[in-house]
Amino acid sequence: MPNATVLVVDDEPLIRWSLVNRLKEEGYRTVEAGTAGEAVAHHRDGVDLILLDFALPDANGLEVLKQVKETDPDTLVIMLTANTDVGTAVTAMKQGAFHYANKPFDLDEIMLLVDKALETTQLRREVRTLRARQAQPYGPGSIVGRSEPITTVRNLLNKIAVSPASTVLLTGESGTGKDLAAKVIHYSSSRGSKPFMNITCSALPETLLESELFGHERGAFTGADRQKRGLIESAEGGTVFLDEIGEMVPLLQSKLLRFLEEKAFKRVGGSSDIRVDVRVIAATNRSLEEEVKKGHFREDLYYRLNVMAIPLPPLRDRRDDIPLLINHYIDAFNTEFRKKIRGVSPTALTALTAYAWPGNVRELRNAVERAMLLAETIELNETHFPVLSAHHGGELSTGINLPAGGINLEGLERSLVVQALERAGWNQTKAATLLGLNRDQIRYRIEKFELEKPSH
């Protein structure tokens, strides 16, 4: 196991030195302890395996073994005993030691034991992660939340999954769970054992996207030296997920519309119709209605997609779910990082619940992940969440008081957008960050207020 940390516990400096030297040669990280007290303290910092001498000055090895196993049953312990007394070795094994070695020991033999032991833990961990993953392979339960808006979404997804509805549109800001929702629909439907094909419409240039989706015939264009099936064909019986549909160019929009209506299409360069049975799920974080108004998106395709539209609510509209999501991710990362974080302090939780979460669930997940990587404490607090620091305006964004005479909300919004742009030197990404928005959201406002960078 690369990067594993081995703790060497022995009161004889020479024995420690020879073990540590050899372990380092084999590529392990090492920590040393000369007493039982030191051993227990180092163990708490996180080690994978312990080479543990039986006779220590302040306690015997079995006591250390007991404490170690209580703190973390996964830690591997190999007992080193000068004692020819088999009884001690047997007791150690009974109390959870992985193995024992008699002193004077053969270094090669010890290294073999270490390798073998670490291999076992790695396997054990992999099995555990796989099991955890398999337990909920995108079942409806993978959508965390009990608030009313998310309950509505979950019910809709369940209904759609079992309905024959062939087309679904998922809308919502970035990070609200559109990818997740698409997988939930697919895997809870009777199509679940068939392919789930995923393509991001903005990721490819137009011509490539067309042949990726619909395939091409041999000789359709330069370089097309053989026939190729497209994604839609390969998804037969399953689901095609078209992400960022708002970015699809008009030519392809027409071809997609025809496919949705007739369930048939032609490969690029082909003349005969191909029929397939797939469900199309499209997603966008843009307002397709706006794109239609601007002439970027076909109105007929929009109406076709909008028949079965599911808007995913932003996290700030379902704040009751924030504590649930935080705990959900603490559990998940505890397993992944082998940590034992118990939760979030009450003040931090209040602040996190009040925060605007412009990046929605994705931002929350990343914030918890980062906090858990940094935390040395058993409870997460405000210092572990940089988004809560004052300049993020967490308080202002929920605590502004409406003056008695009312305000001009549009005017206030415009003024804040202008100020952010000026402060950011008209860098849209930076300005968006100052406002807790994403780039699309600030672009939308720049267009709405017809703002232009001064030309001097």
Binding positions for ligand ATP, rule: CB under 6 A: 143-145, 150, 172, 174-180, 285, 361-362, 365
Interface with Mg ion by CB under 5 A: which range of 36-44, 178-186, 403-411, 436-444? 178-186
Q: Which of Mg ion, ligand ATP, none does 348 bind, CB closer than 5 to 8 A by kind?
A: none
C-beta of 440: minimal distance to Mg ion in Å? Answer: 13
The DSSP symbol for 294 reads T
Stretches 117-125, 139-147, 177-185, 219-227: which one binds Mg ion (CB under 5 A)? 177-185
Residue 334: CB atoms within 10 Å: 14
Q: Nearest CA to 231 among 207, 242, 215?
A: 215
| Integer Cα distance of 206 and 380 in angstroms | 47
Q: Which does 361 bind (CB under 5 to 8 A by kind): ligand ATP, Mg ion, none?
A: ligand ATP
3 state SS of 311 = strand
Closest residue to bound ligand ATP by CB: 177
Tell me how crowded residue 420 is: count the other CB atoms within 10 A of its CB: 21
Q: Which is nearer to ligand ATP, 314 or 394 (CB)?
A: 314
Tell the smallest beta-carbon distance from residue 180 to ligand ATP (Å).
Answer: 4
The nearest distance, CB 130 to ligand ATP, in angstroms, is 18
Among Mg ion, ligand ATP, none, what does residue 301 contact (CB within 5–8 Å per kind)? Answer: none
Q: Using the rule CB under 5 A, is 179 a contact of Mg ion?
A: yes
Task: Give the tokens for residue 12.
Answer: 């004889």
Q: DSSP code of 105?
A: P
Give the nearest distance from C-beta 175 to ligand ATP in angstroms: 5
DSSP strand pairing (274-275 vs 264-265): antiparallel
Please report whether residue 32 would count as binding Mg ion according to CB under 5 A: no
Q: How far is the CB of 153 from ligand ATP (least distance, A)?
A: 8
Q: Which stretch binds Mg ion (CB under 5 A): 51-59, 132-140, 171-179, 220-228?
A: 171-179
- Shortest spacing between CB 282 and Mg ion, in angstroms: 12
The pair of three-digit structure tokens given for residue 223, joined into one six-digit string: 């370089």
First to last CA, the chain: 60
154 binds, among Mg ion, ligand ATP, none (CB under 5 to 8 A by kind): none
Whether the upstream peptide bond of residue 104 has omega within 30° of 0, thus cis, is yes
Phi and psi of 104, rounded to 5°? Answer: -70, 135
Helices (H), 136-177: 148-162
In the bound state with ligand ATP, the residue whose beta carbon lies nearer, of 176 and 189, is 176
| Residue 161 vs 181, nearer CB to Mg ion | 181
Nearest to 145 by CA among 364, 353, 350, 322: 322
- Nearer to ligand ATP among residue 50 and residue 367 (C-beta): 367
Query: In the complex with Mg ion, which residue's Cβ is closer, 283 or 348?
Result: 283
| Closest by CA position to 434, among listed 453, 421, 448, 452 | 421
Least distance CB 184 / Mg ion (angstroms): 13
β-strand partners of 309: 169
| Residue closer to ligand ATP (CB basis): 174 or 306 | 174
The option from Mg ion, ligand ATP, none interacting with 176 (CB < 5 to 8 A, set by class) reads ligand ATP
Tell me if 336 contacts Mg ion by CB under 5 A.
no
Report in angstroms how near the CB of residue 400 gets to ligand ATP at its nearest.
Answer: 28
Reduced to 3 states (helix: H, G, I; strand: E, B; else coil), residue 7 is strand
CB of 199 to ligand ATP, least distance (A): 13
**Which residue, 178 or 279, has its beta carbon nearer to Mg ion?**
178
Instruction: Please name the residues in contact with 377: beta carbons below 8 A apart, sequence gap of 6 or more.
Output: none
Could you tell me the two tokens for 10?
């022995």
Q: Cα separation of 108 and 266, whole Å?
A: 66
Residues 337-366 that bind Mg ion (CB under 5 A): none
- Residue labelled with tokens 């849209």: 428
Is 39 or 310 the residue whose CB approaches ligand ATP more closely?
Answer: 310
Are 261 and 304 in contact by the 8 Å Cβ rule? The answer is yes
**Could you give the C-alpha distances from 248 to 159, 194, 232, 253, 340, in angstroms and in order?**
28, 26, 16, 6, 45
> What is the contact surface with Mg ion in residues (CB under 5 A)?
178-179
